[in-house]
Structure 1
């Protein structure tokens, strides 16, 4: 089941890459909706489940929340390192193709972990798996868009950009398949969901939503974000 659902992430990544080549004026609405879905999954589903599975306290703070903060910080540091690499090859210097390939390869690694998160969530239950998969599928549009853009922006050929895009699309499926071989203990599963939730929240707050409002600060984008979060609330309520 996890692998079949992960195929949705495969398709959405390719759609994002295709959109990067044929940028449309509605991209901001898709990103706004994706940001709302991610926010809803983190706050309404991932964190509550992580606290139930890994609620043991360490120095007065639940382990799941510590790992949530760690996930946010790791995602932030990774994004800053990539930004520093891009800046070093920016003004006054020719753009280095290797920088684009490195940044895009990091996106592939991130997508692999997305697949692991889908598989791990299905080990908790089908409802949890479907909601996590929905968040992953939603933000994989942006992943595909950014993977193609980063690769091509730094002077790589169209062929290389498409090859990296395909690798990024396949990564969630591979990650989900890997969880079929291993059953994650509840404590480790809760900790991982907390960590993944922190990284997902960073992507939504620092990457997806600012990009959605960058060129189109419209009410329609805000409504899409609210609708995404509200939809997750509905899914969680019905599955409970």
Structure 2
């Protein structure tokens, strides 16, 4: 049953990626919406679930919040390390090599493709955990499984949208973005199927959600949203961001 339900997440993820591909001529709107979706997923979905599942305190601070901050700092550290490496190897790059790099080695605006692939890989890992969450919920009961599955399937549109956007934003070729999208779509099905072999402790799931939420928030606040408003600081971009948050709020409310 869990695997069958996870197929809904598979198709919803692909649909989200397809939408992201179709609106490339409105890139600033895509990024504004993606940033809003990511912010909504973190603040309204991941963090509340993490707080509930991993509620133990460490020196007066909930474990989920500590991991949330840790995920934010880890994403910042990875991005800075890649930026330093890029600067060290690109100080004497000629104009011809820069033009060649834009075709695959380096993203426009100096962005590093590996950052996009790393972020997309994190989204795949998150989707895998979504599938495990579906399977674990069905282990508790059919009612619980249905509720969790509804939440996962509906917000996997945002996952697919963000996975494709994150990969392509950093200058990766379309083939790589599509490959990451397919991997993200398959991940919940694999995760749900794997629960027939083990039972996932609730605290471990909550800890992961906290850490991943911090990393995702960093990408939204430090990368996606600034890029969305860089060339098109339009009111429509801001409205797309608000719409993304509102959509996740609606999804969470329906699934509650």
Contact 2:113-2:167 at 8 Å conserved across structures:
no
CA deviation after TM superposition for structure 1 residue 105, in Å: 4.7
* Structure 1 residues 1-240: aligned runs within 5 Å: 1-10=5-14, 12-13=16-17, 16=20, 23-24=24-25, 26-93=26-93, 94=97, 102-103=114-115, 105-107=117-119, 109-122=121-134, 123-124=136-137, 125-146=148-169, 149-150=171-172, 161-179=173-191, 180-182=193-195, 183-240=199-256
- Give the whole-Å Cα distance in 1 for the aligned partners of 2:120 and 2:28: 23
User: Separation in 2 of the partners of 1:11 and 1:131?
Assistant: 11
- 1:104-156 Cα distance to aligned partner (Å, 9 max, x none): 65355334313224324434512431354243123123124235x24xxxxxx
Q: Normalising by structure 1, what TM-score?
A: 0.80
CA contact (8 A) 1:63 1:191 kept: yes
CA distance in 1, matches of 2:239, 2:221: 16
**Structure 1 residues 130-185: Cα deviation after superposition (integer angstroms, max 9, x where no partner):** 354243123123124235x24xxxxxxxxxx3543343122213432331213422
Deviation at 1:69, TM superposition (A): 1.0
Work out the CA distance in 1 between the residues paired with 2:167 and 2:204: 29
Structure 2 residue ranges without an equivalent (≥5): 107-111, 138-147
| Structure 1 unmatched runs, 5+ | 151-160
Question: For the pair shown, which has the larger CA radius of gyration, 1 or 2?
Answer: 2
User: 1:91, 1:118 → 2: CA distance?
Assistant: 42
Contact 1:15 1:141 in 2 (8 A): no
- Output the aligned Cα RMSD: 2.7
Assess if the C-alpha contact under 8 Å between 2:160 and 2:181 holds in 1.
no
The CA deviation at 1:37 is 1.6
CA contact (8 A) 2:33 2:241 kept: yes
Verify the 8 A CA contact 1:54 1:186 in the aligned structure 2.
yes
After TM superposition, the score normalised by the length of structure 2 is: 0.75
Report the number of matched residues. 225
Query: CA 1:226–1:164 in structure 2 vs 1: closer, same or farther (change >3 Å)?
Result: closer
CA distance in 2, matches of 1:117, 1:39: 19
